[in-house]
Structure formats: C-alpha cells, structure tokens
Amino acid sequence: MAVIGLDVGTTGCKAVVYNQEGKILTSSYLEYDIIAINGNYEINPNIVWDKVSEVLLSVTKKCAEAIDAIGISTFGESAVLIDKEGNVLCNAMLYTDPRGIEECKKLIEYENITKVAAHPMYTISKILWMRENREEIKKRVYKYLLFEDFIIYKLTGEFCISFSQAARTGAFDVRQSTFCEDILKLADCNKEQFSIPSPSGTIAGVVKTLEYLYGVPVVTGGQDQVCAALGAGIQDDGEAVLGMGTVECITPIYSDPDKITHDKIIQGYCCVPYVVYGKYVTYAYSYTGGALLKWFRDKIAIELSNQVDNLYEHFNYSVQDLETELLLIPHFAGAATPYMDTNAVGAIVGLSVATTREEIYRAILEGCCFEMAINMEQLNEAGIIIDRLIATGGGAQSKVWLQMTADVLQIPVGVMKNTEAGTAGAAMLAGTAVGIFSTLKQAVERFCIPGDTYVPDLSRQKYYQNKYRKYKKMYTSIKEIMEG
C-alpha cells in the first residue's frame, strides 16, 4: 500500500511516495520558470501540468508498491482560466503580480465575509482586472480554477476545490463554506464558473488521463501552508508550524474565526479553514526568510561559497556564540504582516569599517526572528496563543537559527524527523480518505516522529530583549526617512 503526496509550488513540483508507516519510498522534483515581464509575474499552467505528469510518472515507475491514492498540496491565489474544451486561455497571474491593485478596493466591504484583506494578490482581484482589461478572454472563460482544482481536473475531469484553497480566492464566505454571490456578481461571474468547495480529504474523482495511474483516487489536500501544518503534526489550538523556507511563515491553529477581527484583516492576517473540521489557521509571515540567506551567499560571501562545502553551516558554526550590535530589518522584498507595505525596504543599522561578514550573517538570523516576534505579539493580541512551534523547511536544518528562534520567541521550537511536511500532509489526507488510516490522528502518529526540541536559553534573554526593543522602532523610523 502506498500514497502519493503531490506538492505544486510557484517554481517547482514534487511527488513523494509514502507507505502506510509514513516512510518515504521514492520522490521526484522538477522546476519550471516564472515569467517576469515589465513588473508582472506569471506562470504557464500547461508547463506546470507537464511537469506534474512527469514527476508522477517518475515516482510510479520507481515504486514497487501499488499506488492507492494521490493527495494534492498547491500554492494559492493564482487563477487558471479554461474554456469549455478545457483549454487554458492565458498564463496565470501569480500572487506577486501587481495587477488588480486598483480593482481590489471594491472588495473592502466584504472583508468580514471572506476574512481576507482586499488585496491584489487574491484571485478575485485579478478577475476584476481582467473584466476591464482582457474582455476578449473573459468572455471565453468556462471555469476559474486555482492550481489545486486545475490539477484535479487534469487528472480526473472533475471540478473540486478544498475549503482552504477556495478561501484564497478572496470570494469565499469562510463561515458558510461557499462562494459569496455578491462578490462574484461584482466581478461579473457566477458560482458555476468555480469548482465545488469541499473539505480537505475529499475524494474528488479517480485518474482518467494518465494510463500509469488509471483509476487511482485523487483527494483534495489544500493550500501548501495548510498541508505543511498537518505534515508537521499540528492538530490543536496552541500549536503552530513555523515554515522556514524562502518565505518565513507562522501558521497557528485556532477554533474561533472571529478572533481575526477587521483590524487584523487590515494587517494582512486571514482566516482559512483547516483540514480538521471546526479549526482554522492564519498566516503570519515575512517575505524574506531563507531568501535573505541566499542574498548573503550570492552578494556578500560569493567567493567563500566556492571554498567551503556548506556555506550556511560554516557561518552557523562561526556565529553561534557571537553577539553583535548590528540590527537588520528583513524587508528586502517589502513588508508582510502586520505592515502589508510593498514599499518597505530592508536596512542594516550599526555598520562600521570593523563589521565582519559573521556579524551580518548573525544580524540576518536575528532580524528574521525579531520579525516573527512582532507577529507573535499581534497574534497574542488577537487571542491566538502559541505554546510551541514545529519548524519545517530548509531553515529547520540550522540548529543555530532554531535555538535563536526559541530564545527570541520564548517558546519551545521542535522539529520532525520527516522533513517533507507539505507532501506528507497531502499524503496523510489521501491515505485517510481511502481507509489506509482510520483517522487523521492515526496518520499523524505514523508520519510525524518528533525530532529535537530547542528550549529558550534564559542566559540570552537580556541580550535579545534589549535588541528587540530597538528593533521595534526600525520600521517606522526607516519609513519616515524614505518618505521624507
């Protein structure tokens, strides 16, 4: 018995095969390109589907076990427009694409229904933009799909989308679990043009288009952050996953959707249905986590990267006991929650001719931690209290960064032995849907084996408190300078 967890991201897709004990049998990963033209960002859905087909074929060929189900995790927001014959009508605009920035202002009055801010990143903002600027395409649209239901459609011919993905359209009534007709009317479209919203773990159909997987059930997973939270074993209030990838994101679980008030929505926090019925998640995030480390590698330490086996481990070892006066605010790609300021800029304060690369590296890690501390304060203010974090992603391999996170946030930070959280979450939902696991809880017990836990070091508390007090002044001060 085996299940495939399929994770479709903005730059690549991965298929991982797990057995019923949660062990990885085989995996495959392929990349594709983002199309950047004149400040707009798109992706070709046909190329994504081709790469998905390839990774599914690859793992199927390499796996000796029969595949019992496929679960799907994908990035959100981006719309795939198809006609009645299923042909893709145009490239999908990514969430980073600025189109819709004016049109989204029409959605402000619906924010308490959708529980997301009126923002150009969401699908409905792009649909509003297309009504005004791509009328010839809009007239031909049969279905507006996100990448989850696009892949499901390509595999099965059925139209089915998880609640968590539907919530990323910006047109979904979170409490009623249905698309809001008033919003769709505003965008000159209707419910029939969207897939049927369903809970995560719903069997959407069976594979009809790929001979090597013919008849295998395809199961709704959800947005990648939601699936990663399940893959990290997050099930109850007080728990949260910390995704330490290119983007750094805290995803906590809570039970009351009204904890995300309108004030919090304006700050960029949302309310998304979780895979566990009656539970919700929100996202507290920074655009630059691992992306800043890549910047450091490519811009500050480029020559050293050719001299050491692992540049990051080299610097982790060098800075673990270092203290520095440097302060870094990681808004190198704008500021996410709670600022939602695309014009924000990064800064390093305290430089001198004696500053070393080690100090800059340490300041990057500290700045990322302080940014998450800002978000933790906002979550606490909303009554979303986090007792512990489970870290995933590339940054979760850094013991120094994990310990620093525990020290700054003053809560335990654990890791799982399974590092494939997104595909694991999708696979758990698929396995539960077809009866391999009796409950999601049983699936979590099989897949989520705890690794190390990092507890706050009280001897470092004074050092971090002093720096954090200064850090909290940086955003406003820098904004005043740049706008002055």
pLDDT digits (tens, 9 = 90+) for 369-382: 999 999 999 999 99
pLDDT at residue 303 tops 90: no
Rounded to whole angstroms, the maximal C-alpha distance in the chain is 66
The answer on pLDDT for 39 being more than 90 is: no
More confident site: 11 or 391:
391
* Average pLDDT in the chain: 93
**460 confidence band (pLDDT: 50, 70, 90):** very high
Instruction: Render pLDDT for 230-240 as a digit per residue (tens, 0 to 9).
Output: 999 998 899 99
**pLDDT confidence tier of residue 46, bands split at 50, 70 and 90:** very high
The letter for the amino acid at 361 is: Y
The confidence score (pLDDT) of residue 132 equals 87
CA distance 260 to 273: 13
Whether 305 shows a pLDDT value over 80: the answer reads no
C-alpha–C-alpha distance, residues 261 and 112, integer Å: 8
Given a contact cutoff of 8 angstroms between Cβ atoms, the answer to whether 74 and 94 are in contact is no
Q: What does the pLDDT average to over 67-88?
A: 96
pLDDT in the model for residue 95: 86
The dihedral built from the CA positions of residue 145, 150, 154 and 158, taken in this order, carries a sign that is: negative
Q: What is the pLDDT of residue 10?
A: 87
How far, in Å, CA of 467 to CA of 326, rounded? 9
Residue 312 has pLDDT above 90, yes or no: no
When comparing pLDDT for 138 and 20, which is higher? Answer: 20
Strands across the sheet containing 92-93: 35-37, 40-43, 92-93
Specify whether the CB–CB gap between 58 and 104 falls below 8 A: no
Give the pLDDT score at 417. Answer: 87
Q: Label residue 51 by pLDDT band (50, 70, 90).
A: very high
- pLDDT at res. 362: 96
CA distance 11 to 282: 23
Q: Please, is 272 exposed, middle or buried when counting C-beta atoms within 10 Å of its C-beta (0-12, 13-18, 19+)?
A: buried
What integer is the mean pLDDT of 330-338? Answer: 93
**CA–CA gap between residue 273 and residue 426 (Å, rounded):** 15
Question: Cβ distance 207 to 215 under 8 Å?
Answer: yes
Sorted by where each begins, the domain ranges of the chain are 2-226
Confidence check: pLDDT of 419 > 80: no
User: How far is Cα 479 from Cα 347, in angstroms, rounded to an integer?
Assistant: 11
Beta strand pairing status for 12-19 and 80-82? unpaired
Helix (H) or strand (E) holding 240: strand 239-244
For the four alpha carbons of 210, 145, 196 and 277, in that order, the dihedral sign comes to positive
pLDDT band at residue 472 under the 50/70/90 scheme? very high
Q: What is the DSSP string of 306-350?
A: GTSS-HHHHHHHHHTT-----EEE--BTBB-TTT-BTT---EEES
457-464: average pLDDT: 94
Q: For residue 420, give the 3-state DSSP assignment.
A: coil
pLDDT in tens, 136-151: 898 899 999 999 999 9
Query: Computed over its alpha carbons, how large is the radius of gyration of the chain?
Result: 22
Helix segments in 235-331, DSSP class H = 262-266, 290-295, 311-319
Residue of 288 and 428 predicted with greater confidence: 428
The answer to whether the beta carbons of residues 282 and 292 sit under 8 Å apart is: no
Residue 245: the pLDDT is: 84
* Contact (Cβ atoms closer than 8 angstroms) between residue 379 and residue 237: no
- Topology adopted by domain 2-226: Nucleotidyltransferase; domain 5 (3.30.420)
pLDDT in tens, 158-167: 999 999 999 9
β-sheet bridge partners, residue 205? 218
Return the pLDDT at 316. 85
Mean pLDDT of 468-473: 97
Give the count of alpha carbons within 13 A of 186, CB side only: 20
**What pLDDT score was predicted for residue 131?**
87
> Cis peptide before 450, with omega less than 30 degrees from 0?
no
pLDDT at position 223: 92
**In 3-state terms, the chain is what percent helix, strand and coil (to 5)?**
40, 25, 35
Across the range 461-469, mean pLDDT stands at 96
Question: From CA 59, how far away is CA 67, in angstroms rounded?
Answer: 10
Any residues with CB less than 8 A from the CB of 122 and at least 6 apart, and which?
Answer: 77, 95, 100, 104, 116, 168, 169, 170, 171
Distance from C-alpha of 50 to C-alpha of 116, rounded to nearest angstrom? 32
